[in-house]
């Protein structure tokens, strides 16, 4: 349980940092910068990353071949991206990915795990050597240029020295076959004589160290070729910012600028990759690093998001490979044709649901006044969510009215007073009045620009709008019908949702209805306080399981006696 809570905490910290940076930088400006990349720029970024991946996979394939592990390059690529996917979502880079790569390669070839692990250790050492070589070549520009202050130069120099020493000691120890890993593990038995595992593990690691020694002696030509392939892969990574900002800003970086980015990013990745995929820390670091070479925060964030999107493409490919040949085989299951797609869709739905639930706790971190500013900023552009033109939203409007137990009638509306919470610019509020759902319709929102536009767009008689924060107040009087659509996850906690459910139930007349709309399947979580309320019962429900943005609409009825005091 402790590890699970730690993982949840790290994910929360990562999402929180990411959201705060995006809010402060401005999502609209970031999106415009991303759009400036254009189709050719995007293809150039994709091509660069594909080349980098190809050379990285080829480097490991060469090492596997040298050690007698025979695998087709396509299979090596699948195993490689599968390991990358696992590494990407673990809290610290490479915690989970390398064992997965080793296990899959061993299972497919029947070769001992120590041999396969040896290829992975050498692969990581060569990656470290490549990083150090680029860092040293760029260090002259970074440490002798005028971009960094004297203090910053000392810090960068110290960070690069630590990385270089760690890699150098690793290469030296395995090249000279010091067996330091197996000795350390075997020595753990001194803490408790009853332990037998240190000796067994020490023997396996000893065999792996002998294999690694062979990489720097008997297989040195193959190891050298693998190193050159790693260098080429790192060169593609080195050129990432050059490609992006050439297409978005027409900017050509100097070698000094690229060296500053690469070296500082290498230190950031080595020491601050604490949240899953470095979420939040990577974005904050890139904004700061690229600021040193006069790139705006919006541009830096757009670059970071583009890089993250390309990385997620690899993660998706890795998860597909795992779903077909890795994870389910580990548990002794063989998938029938077509089962892979179903499993993958189920996994993606689960991930999406967890992400949507995470939004609830993300909003809890943002103070109310910042939320108001964020939405006010969002509504600087009319109809920012395309409520007026989106076919998806129009279909959802129709389904929300179709679920009502009382049919709309323009001549004789079935509901006296109707309340829409989070009315935005009043598109649905006005539709409720026009379609004859309610005699009097009230819309509330806490974004001033949205309420102002709602009043101008819908001057109908019997329709009114209020600027109001529903966490602290609700309109006067009682209501026969309340709509709460795609709002609850913005409240920030289940406690606030529970409080709203209690206050709304008192506002609702006996026999009145509450209609809740939320993402599926996370809506079940958001709607729980309403579903568990003793005075509310579900009378109708519809789950729209479309391929994109599925949602659930739930209609509840207020039980109890009429005439209860309203708040």
Using one digit for the tens of pLDDT, what is the confidence trace for 242-292? Answer: 898 888 888 888 777 777 777 677 666 665 555 555 666 677 777 777 887
Query: Residue 554 carries which DSSP code?
Result: E
Whole-angstrom Cα distance, residue 376 to residue 368? 12
391-558 is classed in which CATH architecture? 3-Layer(aba) Sandwich (3.40)
pLDDT of residue 538: 92
Beta partners for residue 542, in sequence order: 553
Q: Which of 140, 142, 138, 137 is nearest to 156 (CA)?
A: 142
Q: Which of 395, 393, 382, 451 is nearest to 420 (CA)?
A: 451
Please, what sign has the CA dihedral across residues 115, 120, 125, 130? Answer: positive
Crossing angle of helices 240-249/220-238, nearest 10°? 20
φ/ψ of 232, rounded to 5, equals -65, -40
Name the 3-class secondary structure at 171: helix
138-142, 182-186, 316-320, 353-357 — which one is most confidently predicted on average? 316-320
Q: Which whole number is the average pLDDT over 496-525?
A: 88
Q: Which whole number is the average pLDDT over 229-234?
A: 89
pLDDT of residue 147: 55
Greatest extent of the chain over all pairs of C-alpha atoms, in Å = 91
Q: pLDDT-derived band of residue 372, with 50, 70 and 90 as boundaries?
A: confident
Whole-angstrom Cα distance, residue 44 to residue 243? 7
Residues of the chain with CATH 3.40.50.150: 391-558
pLDDT of residue 562: 43
* CB 370 within 8 Å of CB 23: yes
- Residue pLDDT, tens place only, 23-40: 666 777 777 888 888 888
Pure H helices in 276-380: 281-291, 297-321, 327-330, 339-364, 368-378
Q: Which whole number is the average pLDDT over 501-518?
A: 91
Q: pLDDT-derived band of residue 10, with 50, 70 and 90 as boundaries?
A: low
- Residue pLDDT, tens place only, 170-206: 666 666 766 666 777 777 766 666 777 777 777 777 7
Question: Does 222 or 92 have the greater pLDDT score?
Answer: 222
Q: Which whole number is the average pLDDT over 520-541?
A: 86
Give pTM, 2 decimals: 0.52
Q: Which residues contact 12 (CB under 8 A, 6 or more apart)?
A: 358, 361, 362
CA 266 to mean position of chain CA atoms: 21
Length of the chain: 567
Query: Percent of the chain having pLDDT more than 70?
Result: 72
pLDDT of residue 555: 94
In the numeric block, which tokens belong to residue 473?
């107040």
CA 272 to mean position of chain CA atoms: 17
- Residue pLDDT, tens place only, 459-504: 778 899 999 888 888 998 899 999 998 888 788 777 888 899 999 9
Q: Which of 359, 355, 350 is nearest to 319 (CA)?
A: 350
Name the 3-class secondary structure at 88: helix
Q: pLDDT-derived band of residue 367, with 50, 70 and 90 as boundaries?
A: low
Question: Does 347 or 306 have the greater pLDDT score?
Answer: 306
Name the 3-class secondary structure at 480: strand
Question: Does 537 or 165 have the greater pLDDT score?
Answer: 537
pLDDT of residue 286: 77
Helix or strand holding residue 20 (H, E): helix 2-25
Query: Does the pLDDT of residue 567 top 50, yes or no?
Result: no
Query: Does the pLDDT of residue 563 top 50, yes or no?
Result: no
> Beta 479-485 vs 415-421: how paired, if at all?
parallel
Q: How far apart are the first and last CA of the chain?
A: 42
Least confident of 85-89, 152-156, 372-376: 152-156
Q: Which whole number is the average pLDDT over 102-124?
A: 83
Q: What is the mean pLDDT of the chain?
A: 77
Beta partners for residue 464, in sequence order: 442
Q: pLDDT-derived band of residue 51, with 50, 70 and 90 as boundaries?
A: very high
pLDDT of residue 414: 92
Q: pLDDT-derived band of residue 135, with 50, 70 and 90 as boundaries?
A: low
Q: pLDDT-derived band of residue 225, with 50, 70 and 90 as boundaries?
A: very high
């Amino acid at each position: 349980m402790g590890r699970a809570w730690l993982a949840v905490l790290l994910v929360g910290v990562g999402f929180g940092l990411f959201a705060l940076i995006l809010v402060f930088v401005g999502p609209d400006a970031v999106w415009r910068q991303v759009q400036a990349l254009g189709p050719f720029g995007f293809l150039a970024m994709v091509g660069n990353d594909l080349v980098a991946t190809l050379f990285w996979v080829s480097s490991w394939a060469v090492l596997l071949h040298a050690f007698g592990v025979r695998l087709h390059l396509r299979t090596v690529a699948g195993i490689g991206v599968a390991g990358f996917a696992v590494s990407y979502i673990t809290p610290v880079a490479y915690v989970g990915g390398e064992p997965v790569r080793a296990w899959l390669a061993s299972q497919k070839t029947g070769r001992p795990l120590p041999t396969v692990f040896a290829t992975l250790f050498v692969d990581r050492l060569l990656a470290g050597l490549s990083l150090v070589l680029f860092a040293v070549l760029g260090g002259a520009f970074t440490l002798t240029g005028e971009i960094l202050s004297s203090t910053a130069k000392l810090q960068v120099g110290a960070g690069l020295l630590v990385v270089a020493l760690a890699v150098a000691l690793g290469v030296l120890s395995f090249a000279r076959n010091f067996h330091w890993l197996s000795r350390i593990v075997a020595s753990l038995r001194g803490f408790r004589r009853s332990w037998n595992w240190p000796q067994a593990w020490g023997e396996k690691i000893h065999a792996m160290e002998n294999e690694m020694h062979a990489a720097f002696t008997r297989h040195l030509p193959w190891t050298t070729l693998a190193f050159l392939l790693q260098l080429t892969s790192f060169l593609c990574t080195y050129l990432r910012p050059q490609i992006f900002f050439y297409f978005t800003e027409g900017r050509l970086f100097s070698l000094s600028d690229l060296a500053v980015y690469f070296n500082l990013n290498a230190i950031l990745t080595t020491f601050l990759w604490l949240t899953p995929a470095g979420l939040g820390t990577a974005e904050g670091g890139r904004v700061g690093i690229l600021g040193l070479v006069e790139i705006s925060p919006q541009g830096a964030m757009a670059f970071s998001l583009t890089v993250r999107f390309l990385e997620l493409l690899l993660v998706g490919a890795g998860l597909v490979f795992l779903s077909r040949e890795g994870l389910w085989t580990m548990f002794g299951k063989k998938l029938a044709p077509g089962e892979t797609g179903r499993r993958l869709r189920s996994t993606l739905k689960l991930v999406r649901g967890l992400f949507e639930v995470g939004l609830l706790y993300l909003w809890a971190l943002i103070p109310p006044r910042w939320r108001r500013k964020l939405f006010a900023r969002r509504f600087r552009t009319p109809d920012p969510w395309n409520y007026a033109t989106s076919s998806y939203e129009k279909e959802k409007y129709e389904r929300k009215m179709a679920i009502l137990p009382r049919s709309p009638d323009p001549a004789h509306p079935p509901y006296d007073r109707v309340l829409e919470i989070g009315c935005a610019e009043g598109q649905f509020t006005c539709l409720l009045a026009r379609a004859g759902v309610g005699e009097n319709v009230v819309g509330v929102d806490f974004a001033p620009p949205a309420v102002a536009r709602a009043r101008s767009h819908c001057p109908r008689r019997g329709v009114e709008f209020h600027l109001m924060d529903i966490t602290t107040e609700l309109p006067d009087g009682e209501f026969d019908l309340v709509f709460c659509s795609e709002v609850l996850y913005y409240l920030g906690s289940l406690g606030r949702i529970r409080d709203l459910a209690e206050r709304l139930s008192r506002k609702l007349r006996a026999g009145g209805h509450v209609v809740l709309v939320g993402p599926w399947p996370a809506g079940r979580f958001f709607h729980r306080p309403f579903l568990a309320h003793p005075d509310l019962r579900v009378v109708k429900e519809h789950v729209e399981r479309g391929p994109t943005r599925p949602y659930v609409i739930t209609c509840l009825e207020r039980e109890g006696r009429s005439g209860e005091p309203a708040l």
